[in-house]
């Protein structure tokens, strides 16, 4: 069992790793060649930057906490631990990165069994390092962050992510958007789920929802929202939001109303990530 002291040390070290890898990503963006982009699937893009960044992260994390296994986006290391696992997205927002849109981040979480106990998200362009550990609060660049106090959807700005390759459920998604547009200050699509969750945690937005995500997209952001005083569930209001492929995060005050709106369109939909 990791003590709070050890977890705090790991959190500090992980921040430094995220910043170092973020500097590499920022440097590569300056002379990035779009011809080097690969396609994992339709509109599912990856670059050598994603792969090299992940290798750097895995190598460094293996040194600071060798007992932990890995769940990684690019498959650099797929050996999972019995109790502890690092969950890594080396470049969340790859499509933004490729097109030169300055919203992308390094996302690193540590899980103990099924629970996220630590998370770091480094937004590369704004040099913002968001971090949290269980029971320790949430921070951005050493400043404590908290969720918004907006009381209801009508006073809220909502973030989401658009489907880009699996369009089977697009009508449900569009209907959700239509309803939320009419009940809130509006919708935003940043292009990075990790950043979206950080913005909920820091009170910049009141809520975030998306389906067809993976654990590495959301794990670090989940604990940031929780430690900042927010709520995180799946679309059904349950706790299968890391591997369940659908997530709702909010400032807690709007969560019931938020779920009620989504429930009109998503009731009975089940998505599941294959982590093995």
Which tens digits make up the pLDDT trace of 100-118? 999 999 999 999 999 999 9
In the chain, the N- to C-terminal Cα span, in Å, equals: 24
Q: Check whether residue 140 and residue 170 sit in a common domain.
A: no
Q: Check whether residue 188 and residue 238 sit in a common domain.
A: yes
pTM, two decimal places: 0.93
Instruction: Say if residue 73 carries a ligand binding annotation.
Output: yes
- Specify the pLDDT at position 75: 87
Q: Is residue 273 included in any domain, yes or no?
A: no
Q: Which of 126, 144, 162 is the last residue of a domain?
A: 144
Instruction: Say if residue 196 carries a ligand binding annotation.
Output: no
CATH of the domain at 107: 3.30.540.10
Q: 233-261 pLDDT, tens per residue?
A: 999 999 999 999 999 999 999 999 999 99
Say if CB 19 and CB 122 are below 8 A apart: yes
Q: Length of the chain, please?
A: 276
Two tokens at 275? Answer: 């982590």
Mean pLDDT of the chain: 92
Greater confidence (41 vs 182) lies with: 182
Q: Is residue 271 included in any domain, yes or no?
A: no
Instruction: Say if residue 92 carries a ligand binding annotation.
Output: yes
Give the span between the Cα atoms of 86 and 80, in whole angstroms.
9
Instruction: Say if residue 213 carries a ligand binding annotation.
Output: no
Instruction: Say if residue 115 carries a ligand binding annotation.
Output: no
- CB within 8 Å of 61: residues ≥ 6 apart: 14, 17, 68, 70, 86, 88, 108
Q: Is residue 225 included in any domain, yes or no?
A: yes
Q: 191-208 pLDDT, tens per residue?
A: 999 999 999 999 999 999
Give the mean model confidence (pLDDT) for residues 20-45. Answer: 78
Q: Is residue 65 included in any domain, yes or no?
A: yes
Q: Is residue 52 included in any domain, yes or no?
A: yes
Say if CB 105 and CB 125 are below 8 A apart: no
Two tokens at 181? Answer: 């547009």
Q: Check whether residue 118 and residue 182 sit in a common domain.
A: no
Q: Check whether residue 133 and residue 178 sit in a common domain.
A: no
Q: Check whether residue 113 and residue 174 sit in a common domain.
A: no
The number of domains in the chain is 2
- CB within 8 Å of 70: residues ≥ 6 apart: 58, 61, 76, 77, 78, 79, 80, 81, 85, 86, 87, 88
Q: Is residue 199 included in any domain, yes or no?
A: yes
Q: Residue 272: which pLDDT band, with cuts at 50, 70 and 90?
A: low
- Residue range of the domain that includes 68: 4-144
Q: Check whether residue 115 and residue 238 sit in a common domain.
A: no
Q: Check whether residue 126 and residue 165 sit in a common domain.
A: no
- For residue 50, the surrounding DSSP H or E stretch is helix 48-64
Q: Is residue 10 included in any domain, yes or no?
A: yes
- Specify the pLDDT at position 31: 86
């Amino acid at each position: 069992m990791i003590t709070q002291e050890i977890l705090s040390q790991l959190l500090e070290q992980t921040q430094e790793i995220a910043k170092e890898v973020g500097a590499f990503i920022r440097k590569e963006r300056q002379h990035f060649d779009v011809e080097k982009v690969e396609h994992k699937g339709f509109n599912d893009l990856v670059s050598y930057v994603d792969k090299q960044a992940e290798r750097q992260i895995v190598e460094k994390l293996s040194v600071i906490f060798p007992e932990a296994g890995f769940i990684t986006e690019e498959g650099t290391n797929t050996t999972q631990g019995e109790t502890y696992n690092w969950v890594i997205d080396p470049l969340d927002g790859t499509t933004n990165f490729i097109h030169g849109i300055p919203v992308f981040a390094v996302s690193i979480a540590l899980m103990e069994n099924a629970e996220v106990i630590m998370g770091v998200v480094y937004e590369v362009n704004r040099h913002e390092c968001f971090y949290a550990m269980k029971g320790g609060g949430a921070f951005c660049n050493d400043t404590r962050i908290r969720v918004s106090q907006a009381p209801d959807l009508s006073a809220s700005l909502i973030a989401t992510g658009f489907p880009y390759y699996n369009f089977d459920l697009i009508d449900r998604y569009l209907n959700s958007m239509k309803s939320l547009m009419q009940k809130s200050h509006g919708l935003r699509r940043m292009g990075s789920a990790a950043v979206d969750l950080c913005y909920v945690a820091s009170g910049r937005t009141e809520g975030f929802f998306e389906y067809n995500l993976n654990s590495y997209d959301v794990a670090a952001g989940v604990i940031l929202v929780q430690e900042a005083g927010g709520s995180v569930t799946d679309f059904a209001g349950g706790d299968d939001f890391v591997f369940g492929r659908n997530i709702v995060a909010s400032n807690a005050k709007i969560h019931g109303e938020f779920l009620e709106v989504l429930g009109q369109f998503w009731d009975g939909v089940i998505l599941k990530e294959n982590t093995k």
